[in-house]
Amino acid sequence: MLDIASYPSPNWNERPAGAVIDTVVLHYTGMRSGRDALTRLCDATAEVSAHYLLEEDGRVFRLVDERKRAWHAGVSHWRGRDNLNHTSIGIELVNPGHEFGYRPFPKAQITSLLSLLEGIAQRHHIQQNGFVGHSDIAPSRKQDPGELFPWAQLAEKGFGIWSGRDGTSTSVIVRRGQKNDNVVKFNEQLSMIGYHIDDIQHFDIATEYAVRAFQAHWRPTAVTGLIDIGTARILEDIANQRG
């Protein structure tokens, strides 16, 4: 059984009436140490929190009761809904992030995460496609948990979806600034998955951010913001699974 330490944060409020928890949002802390992150997440003046924090050695801290609304998602959008704080559970994984020395997530940390996700999924009946990254729901602002996060390993356990398509080709099909039928198709597929695309006719900066987030999640070997053949193959597969 997973040992969870209680470390209450004051940074929460009630979920809106009728809100149904159907999403888990995964983050990295992006700070120099787990202690720094824990302090910030429990600092009332910071006005930020999560339901759980997982240390690199596998220790788990409960900061906010799952029934309450933790402040982890910020300005966010996914599958036609804004403010994912209302309907999600936020989990912070200790990792310095891209600013302070991004590194792989240790086995002990992921083992604890899988155990934690099993309980959350059972309690709230989270569907397999209900597990996303912070960068998925806020691609213009965030890049966590990043390309080193083991999404495929989670999907094997039923916490997320994955594609077995060959994504190795980096031959570019479209890039920012273009407007053509391929751009429309790819924007529509990104929207089907859940990304917020205002203008499906153009490959603009919003599309580029969404493509980067998609690649970090489902094709992490080349996070370029360009849609290449490998990305297109996986994008189509994931869109079909989510659509």
Residue 106 has pLDDT above 90, yes or no: yes
Residues 174-196 have pLDDT tens digits of 999 999 999 999 999 999 999 99
The DSSP call for residue 104 is P
**Residues 21 and 133 both lie in one domain:** yes
**Residues 17 and 82 both lie in one domain:** yes
Tell me which of 126, 156, 186 is where a domain ends: 156
**Residues 78 and 150 both lie in one domain:** yes
In this prediction, residue 242 carries a pLDDT of: 85
> Which is catalytic among the residues 92, 147, 188, 208?
92
User: How far, in Å, CA of 132 to CA of 90, rounded?
Assistant: 10
The tokens for 177 are 């600034």
Residue 243 has pLDDT above 70, yes or no: no
**Residues 152 and 183 both lie in one domain:** no
Residues 194-232 have pLDDT tens digits of 999 999 999 999 999 999 999 999 999 999 999 999 999
In this prediction, residue 113 carries a pLDDT of: 98
Residues with Cβ within 8 Å of residue 1, at least 6 apart in sequence = none
Percent of the chain with pLDDT over 70: 100
Residues 93-103 have pLDDT tens digits of 999 999 999 99
Residue 208 lies in a domain: yes
**Residues 176 and 147 both lie in one domain:** no
Supply the CATH number for residue 220's domain.
Answer: 1.10.101.10
Domain that holds residue 144: 4-156
Specify the number of domains making up the chain.
2
Tell me which of 93, 128, 156 is where a domain ends: 156
Residues 30-86 have pLDDT tens digits of 999 999 999 999 999 999 999 999 999 999 999 999 999 999 999 999 999 999 999
**Residues 65 and 142 both lie in one domain:** yes
CB 230 within 8 Å of CB 166 = yes
Residue 1 has pLDDT above 80, yes or no: no
Contacts 24+ apart (CB under 8 A), 37-41: 37/92, 37/94, 38/7, 41/9, 41/11, 41/92
Residue 69 lies in a domain: yes
Residue 152 lies in a domain: yes
- For the chain, the average pLDDT equals 97
**Residues 40 and 122 both lie in one domain:** yes
The residue-averaged pLDDT of 18-25 equals 97
Is pTM, for the whole model, over 0.95? yes
**Residues 23 and 126 both lie in one domain:** yes
Residue 166 lies in a domain: no
Q: Which residue type occupies 50?
A: A
133 sits in which H/E element: strand 131-133
Residue 56: active-site member: no
In this prediction, residue 13 carries a pLDDT of: 98
Supply the CATH number for residue 85's domain.
Answer: 3.40.80.10
The tokens for 51 are 């339901």
Residue 236 lies in a domain: yes
